[in-house]
Amino acid sequence: MAQRFVDLLFRAVTGGLLWLFALLTPKSRVSGKKLPPVRHPLLLESATQLARKIRRREVSSVEVVQTYIDRIQEVNPLINAVVQDRFSAALQEAAQVDKLIKETGGEDVLEDRLPLLGVPLSVKESFALQGMPHTAGSVSKKGTLALVDAPSVALLKRAGAIPLGVTNVPEQCMWIESHNHVYGMTRNPYDLDRISGGSSGGEGSILGGAGSVIGVGSDIGGSIRLPCFFCGVFGHKTTPGIVSNDLQLPPCSGREEELLSTGPMCRYAEDLLPMLKILAGPNADKLSLDTKVDLKKLRIFTLPDCGGAPLTNPVSEDLKQAQRKVVERLEADLKVKVEEVHFPELKHSLDMWFASASLPDNKGKEPTSFAKLLGEPGPPIWPFWELLKAAVGKSNHTLPAIVFAIMSKLTKPPFSVLEIKEKLQQDVVELLGSDGILLYPTFTRVAPKHHHPLLFFNDVLYTAIFNVLALPVTQCPLGLNEEGLPLGLQVVAGPLQDHLTIQTALYLEKAFGGWTDPGAK
């Protein structure tokens, strides 16, 4: 009852603040505009295809990199996704790639050692990329540059990928809209008045806008899947413990490492598997990534919604219809029966996430409070004081970050739900086994308008639950709705069965068309 009161108070306060914020915020100078269509054919090739053409000298790395630089310069003034570029260095690295290929030859050797040789890459700003800003959108860290690469970034670079720049995030990566007082607001490439998602929202936006072909993101509650959903691209939340989360901001504390997964984001499904192989490094052997998957032999389940969790919105009809079409197509093409299932425990999804994120580590140390994260390197912020400052435009912190810090102070972690979590985890893992997949909505609606996520916060339970359950999930686009906004859903599998969801993504891309050029709609 106390938790319900806090939630109701949260909605009332944030609703009023949202109204005030909208009243005080000037209309965007890009409102009503749209992205230009993709014109260069290289922008319509997957990373896998580009790498092959570069190795065969059918196209130079310099030409590919320059084409993507041109596209970023064309769309970024509209979407504000890339917050710092390294174009000059990238062109120099591309020239070195072309020289290496000319001198070395041996396409097979290069493919094995350098599978992404010469292919451009975008990187979430919260990942350390040597020489680039590394602030997680925090004003107190403005001007901080990464001294080394995060292990995941290093692996992609070692595979031959060429970073073009870093992309925007919410403040301290803890929101579903990418907006902060260091870089400003990132916009959705399909509608500039809507959000791109978070926390990997800059990645989702630049990928959806065809300014990048592959990127790397992290996901602690939906931070890969939500941006990919809102921006119409593919993303994969890996089984936790497979890909390194080191040298990311904010650093994990408590048992947050168990919730966090680093994974690939891309426009074309065929890039998911090779990227995951690279990112997993020595842990790739724990996954069956080279195992051939016969989709006709999979057991397929569908779950239409969370069952009506408190203070959540119902799943919109266009998303329900998109999921039904997937079920119908699977049954028709594969001659299988998709079984609808229900788990009443899903009503507690958000409580399970908060409780899991609040657990102390093995030494009994509590996770770092959000107020402390916002105050670093100084003392913790006073959230209510920052709220007053924000009301007159004087706070260095965004409204969502302040509200999240207040909620963290007011809300007692609901540890009693952890027993429910254990039962749910056992039931879902047992259901999926090593040959099952589950279809589940990603959110309750397509990309919301800017600032509106303050009213839909509880709806993140649709993604957050799979961080709690430690399951691999691939986010798949399913075309556009009548408003021209991306539809999509999550494909979930059992632990270490990442290859099943990725192979399903390849099928869904062929069946429903995959990514759609936002400038062509």
Point out the residues that are catalytic.
124, 199, 223
User: What number of CA atoms fall less than 13 Å from residue 9's CA on the CB side?
Assistant: 11
Cis geometry, peptide bond prior to residue 196 (ω within 30 degrees of 0): no
Q: In a 10 Å sphere around its CB, with 0-12 CB exposed, 13-18 middle and 19+ buried, how is residue 34 labelled? A: middle
Cis geometry, peptide bond prior to residue 377 (ω within 30 degrees of 0): yes
- The full DSSP string for 100-168 is HHHHH--HHHHHHH-TTTT-EEEEETTB--TTSB--TT-GGGTT-B-SS--HHHHHHHHTT-EEEEEE-
DSSP-based three-state secondary structure for 63:
helix
Pull the structure tokens for residue 106.
């041996």
User: What number of CA atoms fall less than 13 Å from residue 42's CA on the CB side?
Assistant: 23
Q: Is the CB of residue 51 less than 8 Å from the CB of residue 117? A: yes
Which residues on neighbouring strands pair with residue 217, listed in sequence order? Answer: 263
Report how far residue 459's alpha carbon sits from residue 453's, in angstroms, rounded to the nearest whole number: 9
Report how far residue 224's alpha carbon sits from residue 235's, in angstroms, rounded to the nearest whole number: 6
How many C-beta neighbours within 10 Å does residue 226 have? Answer: 32
Pull the structure tokens for residue 209.
């806008």
Q: Is the CB of residue 345 less than 8 Å from the CB of residue 477? A: no
Q: Is the CB of residue 298 less than 8 Å from the CB of residue 274? A: no
Phi, psi of 190 (to 5 degrees): -90, -20
Report how far residue 413's alpha carbon sits from residue 402's, in angstroms, rounded to the nearest whole number: 18
Q: Which of 29, 113, 119 is nearest to 78 (CA)?
A: 29
Report how far residue 28's alpha carbon sits from residue 385's, in angstroms, rounded to the nearest whole number: 28
Q: Is the CB of residue 113 less than 8 Å from the CB of residue 51? A: no
Contacts of 71 (CB under 8 A, 6+ apart): 38, 40, 43, 209, 210, 211
Determine the angle formed by the axes of helices 61-79 and 87-104, rounding to 10 degrees: 160
Report how far residue 288's alpha carbon sits from residue 277's, in angstroms, rounded to the nearest whole number: 10
